[in-house]
C-alpha cells in the first residue's frame, strides 16, 4: 500500500506561481556532484535550491509541490517562466565527457497560466524556442502519461542522458515516489504526490501513476519530479517527502529543488472556516466535507480511498493505492545503476 495525496483546484482558484533558483539551474555537473562518491572523482558540492519544506517555512504558501521532472540535473529540464525559456546551459549528469549538449526537437509543456491550463508543443533548436512564447507565464515540460484522454505512457523511454521530451533516467518498472500534474474533464487542475513511508516495502511505478491519474479522471497528465524530488506541502497538513529510490547515488534527503510550484497564502490557522449556515467568513474556505471512493482500475487492483476536504476552491484528498505487481527481481536489475 502506497499513500498519496491529491490536491484538486477548481476553475477560478488562485493562480499558480513558480519559485526558480537560478544557481541550481546553472549547477555544473562536470565540475562538482551532489553525491558523496563519484566514479569520475569529482568533488562534492551541495546542489542549491530549497526543499519544499524550507520554502514553505519561508513563504508560508497555501500549497507547494516540487516542480518539473529532472530538477535541472538532467539536460532536458525545461520551464517557461514569464515568457522566457529556462534551459540548462551547463553540463548535466552524465555530461562529464560530452559537456553541455544543446536541445533540438519538439517538447511538450503543461501550461499553468490561470484559465489557460493546457498542453502545448514547442519546437526548440539549439536551446532556442521557434514559436513565440512571450505570452506564457508558467509552463513545465516532462514525460506525458495522458493526453486528450489517451494514455501515452508507453512513449516514455529510459535514457542515460535524456535529451528528448519523453526521455527519463528510470525504467517503466522503477519503483519510487512520484508527483504529477494534470487536468480533468471539468477543467480542474490536479496535483498528486505518492511516497511510501518505507520504500523497501514497495512503491509505485509509471503504470501505477497513469492508473491513479485515470482514477481521478485526468484527461491530461504529466510527471513532475520523482524519487526524492517528490515533495508536497498543504497548509495545516503533514508534509509529503519521498525518500530516494533504491540505488540512488543522491542519497541526501530531503532533496533541494531548482523549481517549486506554489499558491501564495498565509497560515491556515488564521483563515476561518465557514460557519454551520454555510456563510463564508472571508471567502477563502468553504465547508469541509468527507467522501470516500473505492474503485478497481486497469486490472491492477488499485484500491483508492479518498477523504476530501474543500478549501479555497481546491480539494485535498488522502488516498492509498496498491502498486502494480512487477517482478521484484527484474525491478532490482533495472534499479541498480540509476541515480536520480
Contact present, 53 and 239 (Cβ < 8 Å): yes
- The string of pLDDT tens digits covering residues 166-211 is 999 888 888 888 999 999 999 999 999 988 877 777 778 888 888 8
Give the separation between CA 315 and CA 279, rounded to whole angstroms: 19
Beta bridge partners, 191, equal: 7, 181
* Mean pLDDT of all residues in 19-26: 91
- The string of pLDDT tens digits covering residues 86-124 is 999 888 877 766 788 899 999 999 999 998 999 999 999
* Mean pLDDT of all residues in 325-331: 30
Confidence of residue 323 (pLDDT cuts 50, 70, 90): very low
- CA angle at residue 80 from 170 to 255, to 5 degrees? 45
pLDDT of 283 strictly over 70: no
What pLDDT does residue 318 have? 58
Quick check: helix, strand or coil at residue 200?
A: helix
What pLDDT does residue 12 have? 76
Of residues 163 and 289, the one with the higher pLDDT is 163
What pLDDT does residue 57 have? 92
The burial of 289, by beta-carbon neighbours within 10 Å (0-12 exposed, 13-18 middle, 19 or more buried), is given as: exposed
Give the separation between CA 240 and CA 286, rounded to whole angstroms: 24
Cis peptide before 273 (omega within 30 of 0): no
- The string of pLDDT tens digits covering residues 27-84 is 888 888 887 766 677 888 888 889 999 999 999 999 999 998 889 888 899 999 999 9
Cis peptide before 254 (omega within 30 of 0): yes
Give the separation between CA 8 and CA 311, rounded to whole angstroms: 10
Of residues 82 and 252, the one with the higher pLDDT is 82
- DSSP percent split of the chain into helix, strand, coil, nearest 5: 10, 30, 55
Give the separation between CA 170 and CA 157, rounded to whole angstroms: 8
User: Which grid coordinates belong to 83?
Assistant: 515568457
The structure's pTM equals: 0.79
What pLDDT does residue 265 have? 81
What pLDDT does residue 11 have? 83
Strands (E), 174-313: 178-184, 189-194, 218-226, 231-234, 240-241, 259-263, 307-311
Query: Please, where are the H alpha helices in 87-236?
Result: 206-215
What pLDDT does residue 288 have? 24
pLDDT of 218 strictly over 70: yes
What pLDDT does residue 153 have? 92
Amino acid at each position: 500500500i502506497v499513500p498519496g495525496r491529491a490536491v484538486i483546484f477548481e476553475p477560478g482558484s488562485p493562480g499558480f506561481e513558480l519559485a526558480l533558483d537560478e544557481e541550481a539551474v546553472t549547477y555544473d555537473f562536470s565540475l562538482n556532484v551532489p553525491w558523496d562518491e563519484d566514479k569520475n572523482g569529482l568533488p562534492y558540492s551541495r546542489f542549491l535550491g530549497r526543499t519544499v519544506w524550507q520554502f514553505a517555512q519561508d513563504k508560508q504558501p497555501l500549497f507547494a509541490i516540487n516542480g518539473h521532472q529532472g530538477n535541472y540535473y538532467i539536460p532536458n529540464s525545461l520551464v517557461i517562466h514569464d515568457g522566457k525559456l529556462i534551459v540548462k546551459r551547463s553540463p548535466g549528469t552524465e555530461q562529464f565527457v560530452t559537456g553541455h549538449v544543446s536541445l533540438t526537437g519538439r517538447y511538450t509543456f503543461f501550461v499553468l497560466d490561470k484559465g489557460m491550463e493546457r498542453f502545448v508543443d514547442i519546437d526548440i533548436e539549439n536551446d532556442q524556442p521557434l514559436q513565440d512564447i512571450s505570452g506564457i507565464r508558467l509552463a513545465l515540460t516532462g514525460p506525458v502519461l495522458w493526453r486528450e484522454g489517451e494514455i501515452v505512457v508507453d512513449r516514455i523511454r529510459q535514457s542515460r542522458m535524456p535529451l528528448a521530451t519523453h526521455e527519463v533516467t528510470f525504467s517503466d518498472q522503477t519503483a519510487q515516489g512520484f508527483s504529477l500534474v494534470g487536468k480533468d474533464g471539468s477543467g480542474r487542475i490536479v496535483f498528486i504526490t505518492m511516497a511510501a513511508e518505507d520504500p523497501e516495502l514497495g512503491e509505485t511505478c509509471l503504470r501505477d501513476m497513469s492508473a491513479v491519474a485515470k482514477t481521478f479522471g485526468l484527461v491530461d497528465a504529466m510527471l513532475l519530479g520523482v524519487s526524492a524530488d517528490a515533495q508536497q506541502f498543504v497548509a495545516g497538513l503533514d508534509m509529503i517527502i519521498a525518500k530516494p529510490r533504491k540505488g540512488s547515488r543522491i542519497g541526501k534527503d530531503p532533496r533541494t529543488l531548482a523549481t517549486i510550484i506554489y499558491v501564495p497564502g498565509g497560515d491556515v490557522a488564521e483563515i476561518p472556516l465557514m460557519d454551520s449556515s454555510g456563510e463564508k467568513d472571508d471567502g477563502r474556505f468553504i465547508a469541509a466535507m468527507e467522501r470516500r471512493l473505492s474503485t478497481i482500475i486497469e486490472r491492477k487492483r488499485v484500491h483508492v480511498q479518498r477523504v476530501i476536504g474543500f478549501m479555497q476552491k481546491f480539494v485535498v484528498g488522502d488516498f492509498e493505492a496498491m502498486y502494480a505487481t512487477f517482478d521484484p527481481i527484474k525491478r532490482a536489475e533495472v534499479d541498480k545503476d540509476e541515480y536520480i
